[in-house]
Amino acid sequence: MLIFDIKVGMLKTNCYVIVDGDTKESAVIDPGDEFESIINVLDEHELKPSYILITHGHYDHIMAAEKIRGKYGAKIICHKEAEPFLAETMLNGAFYNGCTITVKPDQTVDEDDIIKLGNTEVKVLHVPGHAPGSACYYIESEDVVFTGDTLFKDTVGVTDIFPYGNHSLLVQKIKEKLLILPYETVVYPGHGACTTVGDEERNNYYLR
């Protein structure tokens, strides 16, 4: 599998392009802004994404989703509980930044659903707390998990800025859903640097 990390927008959101190694079928995870930067990577590698995978419905993770769908016909996928956040400017936070963003998914998913990307299986893990409907995308065959704003290097997602955050729920679900993954699993977060499950279990203050 190929993984490209594109840092986009004022908050330097990590937008990932993932590519199945056998078929070159690709997906974009969290196209948060800078449509041109994302399509430059896609076009450079001659990729036409099949899916746009949304980890959660906050504006800095969805701003370029509609444009990418319009250009490539990719299906926008989110957890079923995130759908209202994609649709409502007050919930996704765009209102507070002086803009309007609404996105309608083509498909919603739930816990343990599998998204087939070529020969690669992407498993949905529902890890709420930062936001309702927060989904992590786990690829067991590659030992990687894309965690959005749930788990970061040495910290966890904020719960006191956007509506419906819940810190205790977030920590509980990280322990139940993410820390049980193999220690060597690489964590690709929504912002900042990569880490591993093992490093976070050992070093993350919030998960003690």
Q: 24 near 119, Cβ under 8 Å?
A: no
Q: What pLDDT score does 162 carry?
A: 82
The DSSP element (H or E) to which 169 belongs, if any, is: helix 167-173
Block residue for tokens 């729920």: 169
- 2-207 fold: Metallo-beta-lactamase; Chain A (3.60.15)
Q: What is the pLDDT along the chain (208 residues), one digit of tens a residue?
A: 999 999 999 999 999 999 999 999 999 999 999 999 999 999 999 999 999 999 999 999 999 999 999 999 999 999 999 999 999 999 999 987 788 999 999 999 999 999 999 999 999 999 999 999 999 999 999 999 999 999 999 999 999 988 799 999 999 999 999 999 999 999 999 999 999 999 999 999 999 9
pTM: 0.97
Side chain identity at 78, as an amino acid letter? C
Residue 19 in contact with residue 139, Cβ under 8 Å? no
Neighbours of 46 (CB within 10 A): 8
Query: How does DSSP assign 113-163, residue by residue?
Result: -EEEETTEEEEEEE--SSSTT-EEEEEGGGTEEEEETSEETTEE---SSST
What residue spans define the domains of the chain? Answer: 2-207
d(CA 160, CA 138): 26
Residue 134: what are its φ and ψ, rounded to 5°?
Answer: -65, 125
Q: What is the pLDDT of residue 29?
A: 99
Structure tokens at 156: 């966890």
133 CB-near residues (< 8 Å, 6+ apart): 56, 57, 78, 79, 80, 81, 82, 83, 85, 126
pLDDT of res. 161? 86
Q: How many CB atoms lie within 10 A of CB 140?
A: 14
CA distances (Å), origin 84, targets 57, 69, 79, 90, 132: 8, 19, 10, 10, 9
Strand 186-189 versus strand 155-156 pairing type: unpaired
